[in-house]
Amino acid sequence: MTEVAESVAGRMPAASRTRRMAGGPRLRRLVPALYIAFLLVPIYWLVNMSLKTNEEIVSIFSIWPKHPTLANYMVIFTDPSWYSGYINSIIYVVMNMAISVTVALPAAYAFSRYRFLGDKHLFFWLLTNRMAPPAVFALPFFQLYSAVGLFDTHIAVALAHCLFNVPLAVWILEGFMSGVPKEIDETAYIDGYSFPRFFVKIFMPLIASGIGVAAFFCFMFSWVELLLSRTLTSVDAKPIAATMTRTVSASGLDWGVLAAAGVLTIVPGALVIWFVRNYIAKGFALGRV
């Protein structure tokens, strides 16, 4: 008992010298390690494939590329129909983030500070939109955006993604705002701040992490969604994910380029996670721990 405690204590700094009651320290480290391995192996396989030629992929089965090549990536970076997909995706994701957070801020403030006629119902109704299956909306969206002449534009996709991102942003921001004491608002009014000035100068910095979390989630769900973005675009605003599906069906077997495109779609997400790594845990709890 003490020997184990000693060996743990030897390696773990600071307060964790308090002997933990884990089910054995070795098992404790094994579980996350195995889980991470499970997560990374399929991704590794994709990266592995992206560095091989098509001949190598189909002819020899190798755990790592025998003749590593960047040719697949070159195809993507030189062909506008490929790289414009990335640009399109990023454009509508950023537009969606901006729109969602901007409209969600005042609404979340109202929900966190005021009681008003029908507030609870409204809040639930908003949340129901997060529960709406995109498949239900695919066709009506197509007709609606075609009718107003927005078909195949970035803004169409950005607005369509608001369907699930706005309710989520309201929900997240409301959680963070409720954590800010109401006295702050009152003090600011007494100090002679007008509402807009108070909101921008004092309140928004206080919930900056909440805004970050909301933006992160908008990014996440807009970036990963395919059904709506594919339905609402054909050429000019076609997202990278949709470009990928078409290439598969067209040429059928260009595995190397497909893998390379897949790897490149993981990169923006990985970058974003890296930047927000210190807020991930709290962020995923939506400020409601």
Partner 1 sequence: MARITLEGLAHSYLPAPRGPEDFALKQLDHVWEDGGAYALLGPSGCGKTTLLNIISGLIRPTRGEIRFDGQDVTDLPPEQRNIAQVFQFPVIYDTMTVYENLAFPLCNRRMAPRAVDARVREIAEMLDLGSELRRKARNLTADAKQKISLGRGLVRADVAAILFDEPLTVIDPHLKWLLRSQLKHLHRRFDFTMIYVTHDQTEALTFADKVVVMYEGEVVQVGTPDELFERPAHTFVGYFIGSPGMNILPAEISGDRARIEGHELPLGAAYGRLPAGARVEIGIRPEFLSLARAGEAAGAAVPATIRAVEDVGRYRIARTRIGEHEVAVVAPEDGEIPSDGACVVFDPQRINVYADGHRVQEGG
Partner 2 sequence: MDKTWNNKGWFFVLPVLALVLFSAAIPLMTVVNYSVQDTFGNNVFFWAGSEWFEELLHSQRFHDALWRQFLFSAIILAIEVPLGIGVALAMPRKGWGVPVCLVTMALPLLIPWNVVGTIWQIFGRVDIGLLGHTLFGLGLDYNYVRDPLDAWITIIVMDVWHWTSLVVLLCYAGLVSIPEAYYQAARIDGASRWAVFRYIQLPKMHRVLLIAILLRFMDSFMIYTEPFVVTGGGPGNSTTFLSIDLVKMAIGQFDLGKAAAMSLVYFLIILLLSWIFYTVMTNAGAERGRATGGEGGR
- Measure the CA–CA gap between 185 and 195, rounded to whole angstroms: 9
Instruction: Find out whether 252 and 199 touch, Cβ atoms under 8 Å.
Output: no
How does DSSP classify residue 233?
Answer: -
Q: Which of the listed partners (partner 1, partner 2, none) does 5 bind, with a CB threshold of 5 to 8 Å by partner kind?
A: partner 1
266 touches partner 2 by CB under 8 A: yes
* Binding of partner 1 by 252 (CB under 8 A): no
Amino acid at 272: V
Tell me which of partner 2, partner 1, none is bound by residue 1, counting a contact when its beta carbon lies within the kind-specific cut-off of 5 to 8 angstroms: partner 1
- Asked if 197 is part of the footprint of partner 1 (rule: CB under 8 A), the reply reads no
The residue count for binding partner 1 (CB under 8 A) is 13
What whole-number distance in Å separates Cα of residue 164 and Cα of residue 229? 13
Burial of 226 (0-12, 13-18, 19+ CB in 10 A): middle
Decide: is 289 part of the binding site for partner 1 (CB under 8 A).
no
Q: Draw the binding track, 7-26, toward partner 1 (x: CB under 8 A; -: no contact).
A: --xxx-xxx-xxx-------
Residue 196 binds partner 2, judged by CB under 8 A: no
Out of 98, 204, 208, 280, the only residue in the binding site for partner 2 (CB under 8 A) is 280
CA 246/CA 243 separation, integer angstroms = 5
User: Which residues in 145-184 contact partner 2 (CB under 8 A)?
Assistant: 159-160, 162-163, 166-167, 170, 174-175, 178-179, 182
Vertex 157: Cα angle to 258 and 217 (nearest 5): 80
Kindly list the residues in this chain that would bind partner 1 in the complex (CB under 8 A).
1-2, 5-6, 9-11, 13-15, 17-19
